[in-house]
Chain A
């Protein structure tokens, strides 16, 4: 099995593919580093123009936590009631945002119970206020994850399809190995490559951020899990959580492309369908017929369940998403199993 995995890693890491990835990464890194600085300057300028108090305004305007602005013991109940009303309306309209309002109510009640008025509270993502290695990593990894997802889709769609096209599948499958072993080896190899790629790129981003902006590893943030539970964590933990969620997302999109490429024995349709899913085109269609909740990309937004997220669909729930994610991935794996075990190899 070890030899199979090593062989698959070697197939994935072709020199041409590596050079292409390195060039894309360098260009992308330079662009992100430049835009990150420009954005920060714009934030500061805007904040100064508006109030003359950049720190406060940037946090409110870009941190997405305006519900905490000037929160006191006197107005907290009123604010909770207002957000509860918004939550009720969102449920009635079935149009989403219900998750966000419920999360806000949970945060406000947490502040009330723990008497945290006037304190500096960072809810999940700390945008703008802390220009730090962690913040840079977070901003940078959002785009990085998208690029790696595209790479995963393109590469994984060809894991079997290329072997079929080149005829090499015949040479492998007349060796004493089973189709399941080969599939597993391909998956493990691809996961190892993707993880290596993500971690290396993230580490480079973090080291650059550290040199340019310094760390805020001690800053605490509040995470609101599944709109019900609030817990405190370091910003670094939050970044790590995002990365784990991103890994799951990348592998899931990759698995979709892998199963389709194997089913069709061709890369192009697998890439097109997977990209359509990844870019939310299917989710859009599902939302038009009001079943967005069960869309694949909705199921992949696991990291959204740790912040008051505005993008989650109607009646979103972490455990339903997790269940859907498992079901979808099981379906993809079943498609792979069917394609490689039940059909003739050649």
Chain B
């Protein structure tokens, strides 16, 4: 079930009454419950603008965003009741403690308790403690945010985004300032939220390797346009080919068979051949063996999200 529906949104920034920047152009996508979608693109591609439109911080020039069926412009309050977000950076009140910040955010997060799930009072006590434990800040919750590191602020930002048990979580660069252990922790938290609580998560990040580990699906945006939307399984299919390495003593024979049977131009490597193909590796192995080539090993190198990203955004080799 789609929690977030983005339909043909565009955003034009005007200067002196004239269109100056077309930041987002006709972008459409959905995010379903229990799904983690990675939103990636180079700097200035329109990621943050799109996230701002989704969270109601900016108005689209055209198009619609609905969250749980509520239009973000026309039914702002109802739409945002189901949203937790960090946009750009987790800015908090620095002179307040983490606890004070979360209490304040809790107090304005829901206008009424949702159908007996938890009362407002519970939001400000047990729920807040639970969130501090979840993001590993329980011991520091009474310290002023001014004394927090960037990573701690990031965790606090995630805690405030989760405060009202949202159905849609929108996170802009949630791993900023986190150490490797912190990144793993946040990944596990997000995976748990999506899998156990069926939360729909839209996350933007430049850390593509981490995104590949975290997300079920990706949206690649470039120059304001959505240019690709591969899912995790289809990553290798984006180019239509996978990189295959076959280990054999008869590298010349293997190269010939590949050319004759499949029309593949393989590259000779020490102890094997390497080539790109969309042909099933089992079939290739069978043909090689039938042709008398001894195959010592076969491995398929998956195309990384980074490679696809670089290729799609035209940054390869730059």
Contact = CB atoms under 8 A, between A and B. Distances in A.
- Indicate whether A and B interact: yes
Interface of A: 3-4, 6-7, 10-11, 14-16, 166-168, 170-178, 344-346
B87 A175 contact: no
A82 B58 CA distance: 67
B201 to A, nearest CB: 15
B109 to A, nearest CB: 5
A218 to B, nearest CB: 49
Contact of A173 (B57, B84, B100, B111): B57
Contact of B56 (A4, A171, A173): A173
Q: Interface SS of chain A: helix, strand, loop or mixed?
A: helix
Contact of A171 (B59, B100, B105): B105
Query: Interface size for chain B: under 10, 10 to 19, 20 to 34, or 35 or more residues?
Result: 20 to 34
Nearest to B11: A344
B94 A174 contact: no
B108 A175 contact: yes
Nearest to B108: A175
Nearest to B85: A174
Contact of B58 (A11, A168, A171, A345): A345
Given A166-B94, A168-B91, A176 B58 contact: no
Given A10-B104, A171-B90, 5 more contacts: A3-B108, A14-B95, A166-B91, A171-B160, A172-B108
A17 to B, nearest CB: 10
A168 B57 CA distance: 12
A172 B107 CA distance: 11
Interface string B31-59: 00000000000000000000010011111
A170 B90 CA distance: 9
B52 A344 contact: yes
Contacts of B185: none
Nearest to A173: B57
Interface stretch (B73-81, B274-282, B294-302): B73-81
Interface string B87-131: 111111111000010001101111100000000000000000000
B220 interface: no
B83 interface: yes
Contacts, number: 73
B111 A176 contact: yes
10 contacts: A11-B93, A15-B95, A167-B91, A170-B88, A173-B57, A175-B105, A175-B108, A176-B78, A176-B81, A178-B76
Given A6-B107, A7-B108, A346-B52, A167 B80 contact: no
Interface of B: 52, 55-59, 76-81, 83-85, 87-95, 100, 104-105, 107-111, 160
A190 to B, nearest CB: 17
Given A4-B108, A178-B76, A171 B55 contact: no
Given A174-B57, A177-B108, A346 B88 contact: yes
A176 B110 contact: yes
A6 B90 CA distance: 22
* Nearest 5 pairs of A and B residues by beta carbon: A167-B91, A3-B107, A344-B58, A176-B80, A346-B57
Contacts of B83: 174
Nearest to A182: B108
A99 to B, nearest CB: 46
Contacts of B76: 176, 178
A166 B109 CA distance: 20
B55 A174 contact: yes
A69 B177 CA distance: 79
A15 B96 CA distance: 11
B5 to A, nearest CB: 18
A176 B109 contact: yes
B26 to A, nearest CB: 19
Nearest to B87: A170
Contacts of B95: 14-16
Contacts of B104: 7, 10
Contacts of B105: 171, 175
Interface centre among A6, A167, A173, A175 (most CB of B within 10 A): A175
B92 A177 contact: no
A264 B107 CA distance: 29
Nearest to A185: B108
A168 B107 contact: no
Contacts of A6: 107
Contacts of A176: 76-81, 109-111
Contact of A170 (B57, B77, B108): B57
A316 to B, nearest CB: 41
B176 to A, nearest CB: 13
